[in-house]
Amino acid sequence: MDNKNNHTQIDKYPWLGLFLLGALLSVGIIIATLVIARTVERVKFQNQRIQVKGYAERTITSDIAVWSGQITTRSPELVTAYDNLQTDLKKVLSYLQQQGVRDEDVSIPSVITTIQYKRTEKGAMTNIVEGYTLIQTVKITSPNIEQIADIANQVTVLIKQGIEFDSFPPQYFYTKLDNMKIELLGEATKNAGMRAKQLAENSGSMVGALKYASQGVFQITPVYSTQVSDYGMYDTTTIKKSVKAVVTMEYSIR
């Protein structure tokens, strides 16, 4: 009886059927849209990631110094040049001993000999030997940093003794750097995790699993220096240095 009445109503009002069909289609579209939206939102949420850089820095004091100087002698005769070189070398070693340098910290490599050939008036080189130049390097490697720094500044007094002597700038190193690098990487990693957590919390999310990690190069620079290099830096000119480590970390967001 009810179905008959319904058909009667629809037959009487044909627009009523179209209205009911449109309403059903609208409800279906709304439900489908919500399902799709939630699916897309869930997929996007699962693919969300955050990338941060972690940073760590320490100040170190060099624990070993390397310094070298060169003695040069010249003479028309090779034997004379060598004798003069040995005399000057004894003076230099005596000076270093007076400054408190230990014998085991001093190394003396082979002598470098250069033959000087006579030139013509036009500047062309001949095969006539005009003289010899001999160079002797003296190298000190010592943990006594301040001592080496003082010697490098004062060794020019040897010139007053008639010695042709060239002093090179000392180099300063830190021998425990490998262990420190491991510690710095740990600190930089923790720093990256803290940064990721803070950024995620600010956006109403939470940090998930670690997806990617990359170690940057170490920058060993003078203290307060802002110099960096894509290949890393290792300053050897200063006693105090700053060691900087950077890591790149990528986390999922949930």
Into which CATH architecture does domain 49-61+176-253 fall? 2-Layer Sandwich (3.30)
Specify whether the CB–CB gap between 55 and 64 falls below 8 A.
Answer: no
Give the residue-averaged pLDDT of 132-137: 98
Task: For residue 29, list its beta bridge partners.
Answer: none
Distance between CA atoms of residues 117 and 124, nearest Å:
10
Per-residue confidence (pLDDT) for residue 26, from 0 to 100: 59
Q: Quick check: 161 and 91 in contact, CB under 8 A? A: yes
For 33, other C-beta atoms within 10 Å of its C-beta total 10
At residue 66, does pLDDT exceed 80? yes
Identify which has the larger pLDDT, 139 or 45. 139
Rounded to 10°, the helix 2-12/15-47 angle is 100
Q: What percent of the chain has pLDDT over 90?
A: 57
Question: Domain spanning 64-172: which superfamily?
Answer: Protein of unknown function (DUF541), domain 2 (3.30.70.2970)
**Pick from 56-70, 78-92, 140-154, 197-211: least confident:** 197-211
Q: Specify the pTM.
A: 0.74
Query: Stretch 105-115: mean pLDDT, rounded?
Result: 96
* More confidently predicted of 18 and 197: 197
pLDDT, average across residues 31-58: 63
pLDDT at 12: 55
Structure confidence by residue, pLDDT tens digits, 183-237: 999 999 999 999 998 888 888 888 888 888 999 889 999 999 988 888 899 999 9
